[in-house]
Chain A
Amino acid sequence: MNYMLLDDAALVAQIAREDRTAFETLYDRHAGQTLGLAVRVLGERNLGEDVVQEAFWRVWKLSKQFDVSKGNVKAWLFGITHHLAIDTLRRRKDNRMVEIDAESDDPDAPTMLDLPDEMPEPLQQIWEKMSSEKVRSALATLPEPQRQVIEMTYFQGLTHKEVAINLKQPAGTIHTRARLALGKLRELLAGSVLVVVTVAAALIQIVFSLINQK
């Protein structure tokens, strides 16, 4: 079996059968991106690697709960990585002992953020056409106040209350900005998918027209 040809869902299905090679393949495919996210949140490589190790470990342990027909492996992996990175960041800020694997010995009782989701169809389409460049472009088009809230919560690990204090804005305003940012982001990414589909449809139509003319 050529594991490199398997998509993420097929790899996770194999991992659920304790397939070591499938797990290694998934790691090789996504370790760099997840470590990038962890380092972006934590600002530190060593802790980032601890987070990535724990995130993949949870994929290994929770793979049987992943529905290959409905879930998105990358979204699941990013979700776990982000959750662990935020927890680690807050422990460090609180001068608490940083133990990444605090929950790792109890994978049967993971937090909601560790569990794989059944991703709705529109989101699946977004993820299928996803690229780092598209996401960066979509983020860049957000209004600065909205982008700022996303930056401070998702990447810097501040709570909504801390963001409100830092920006000297009411909590409700922060919530609204975050909501608008995510809505806009979704529209932008879905739109890019729509553009791709529209262009593809137009090209097909042109091809058929040319064939008919002949």
Chain B
Amino acid sequence: MSIEDQLMLYALGALDDNEKHAIEQALARDPALRAQLAQIRGVVAVLGESVPPVAPSAQLKRNLMARVDADRASRRPTLTPSRPSLTIWQQLALAWRRAAPVFALGAMAIALVSGLWAVSLTQQLRQVQLEAQRLQSEVAALSEPGVFVKALPATNAQATASASLVGQLGSPKVLLRVANLPALDPARTYEAWIIRDGKPVAAGVFNTDAGGMAQVILDNTIPWTGKEQFGVTIENAGGSPMPNLQTLVFLG
């Protein structure tokens, strides 16, 4: 039997099971055979048109559509609540709700820093107030009769340093203020001298802080007359009985 006859009989439904199986295997392998079969089937199917139609029962349609509905339902993905589309305001509100904890933490941090800063500012303000009170006291003191302020010239060794002496005539105590004077190592010290009639008398030792500042009250035991000279030298720790003129810092 030719392949054409096999295809024709297959299209007519006239092959037995074994023959049908064999031609289907051949068709599966050969696209040209399938095209040939399509030609034949196109004519054979026309035969179906020759029979009179028969009205199907309503039950047939119900059964078929129920089957289709079940299939559609099984293919439909499981519905999950879809998120409705949001307006721009709703999106902003949602974004705010999401960002709110971050903003809250940030606000807390800012509040904490601000609080600490405020405390610091309060402390600084308090110090300034105290300084102002002190300055007011000093100004008041300076306005007292006999009070003097004497600037002490620096030698070339410490040209950038400055010093002043504040005292009151008739009083043995005097206030020495220095600035820009480098701090010394522990083995050495600054020593103040009061020179009366050309003779230096040790008035006290001191050292400056990290900023090069110092403020020392010196007690001379002898009332200040206004004719004295004042000097500062660098000496060994503990002070010296006589000033080392090689290390003179201030004299005036």
Report the interface size class on chain B. 35 or more
Q: Is the CB of A112 within 8 A of B52?
A: no
A20 interface residue per 8 A CB criterion: yes
| Chief secondary structure at chain B's binding surface | helix
How far is it, in angstroms, between the C-alpha of A75 and the C-alpha of B48 when the chains are bound?
A: 8
A37 interface residue per 8 A CB criterion: yes
Binding stretch for chain A, among B67-75, B97-105, B177-185: B67-75
Q: Is the CB of A36 within 8 A of B9?
A: no
- Within 8 Å by CB of B63, from A53, A72, A160, A182, lies A53
A60 interface residue per 8 A CB criterion: yes
Q: Is the CB of B50 within 8 A of A153?
A: no
Most chain B CB within a 10 A radius of its CB, from A36, A39, A112: A112
Per-residue contact bits, chain A 76-112, to B (CB 8 Å; 1 contact, 0 not) = 1011011100100000000000000000000000011
Residues in chain B near residue A118, CB distance under 8 A: 35, 38
- Within 8 Å by CB of A40, from B24, B38, B51, B69, lies B51
B144 interface residue per 8 A CB criterion: no
Measured CB to CB, the closest approach of chain A to B119, in angstroms, equals 72
Measured CB to CB, the closest approach of chain A to B197, in angstroms, equals 122
Q: Is the CB of A31 within 8 A of B60?
A: yes
Binding stretch for chain A, among B10-18, B207-215, B227-235: B10-18
How far is it, in angstroms, between the C-alpha of A36 and the C-alpha of B43 when the chains are bound?
A: 18
7 contacts between A and B (CB under 8 A): A57-B64, A75-B41, A111-B24, A130-B46, A135-B47, A136-B50, A175-B1
- Within 8 Å by CB of A36, from B5, B10, B44, B53, lies B53
Q: Is the CB of A18 within 8 A of B75?
A: yes
How far is it, in angstroms, between the C-alpha of A112 and the C-alpha of B7 when the chains are bound?
A: 11
Per-residue contact bits, chain A 165-188, to B (CB 8 Å; 1 contact, 0 not) = 000000110010011001001100
Q: Is the CB of A75 within 8 A of B42?
A: yes
Q: Is the CB of B41 within 8 A of A32?
A: no
B82 interface residue per 8 A CB criterion: no
Measured CB to CB, the closest approach of chain B to A120, in angstroms, equals 6
Q: Is the CB of A126 within 8 A of B64?
A: no
List 17 extra interface pairs beyond A33-B49, A135-B46, A139-B47, CB under 8 A: A20-B69, A31-B61, A32-B56, A37-B51, A49-B59, A53-B67, A74-B45, A75-B46, A78-B45, A79-B44, A120-B38, A127-B42, A136-B50, A178-B12, A179-B4, A179-B5, A182-B43
Residues of A within 8 A of B (CB): 18, 20, 23-24, 27, 31-37, 39-40, 45, 48-49, 52-53, 56-57, 60-61, 72, 74-76, 78-79, 81-83, 86, 111-113, 117-120, 123, 126-127, 130-132, 135-136, 139, 150, 153-155, 157-161, 163, 171-172, 175, 178-179, 182, 185-186, 189
Measured CB to CB, the closest approach of chain B to A12, in angstroms, equals 14
Residues in chain A near residue B63, CB distance under 8 A: 53
Q: Which residues in window 27-41 of B have CB below 8 A to A?
A: 27-28, 34-35, 37-41
How far is it, in angstroms, between the C-alpha of A43 and the C-alpha of B107 when the chains are bound?
A: 88
B54 interface residue per 8 A CB criterion: yes
How far is it, in angstroms, between the C-alpha of A52 and the C-alpha of B67 when the chains are bound?
A: 13
Q: Which residues in window 128-144 of B have CB below 8 A to A?
A: none
How far is it, in angstroms, between the C-alpha of A35 and the C-alpha of B59 when the chains are bound?
A: 14
- Within 8 Å by CB of B64, from A18, A56, A74, A78, lies A56
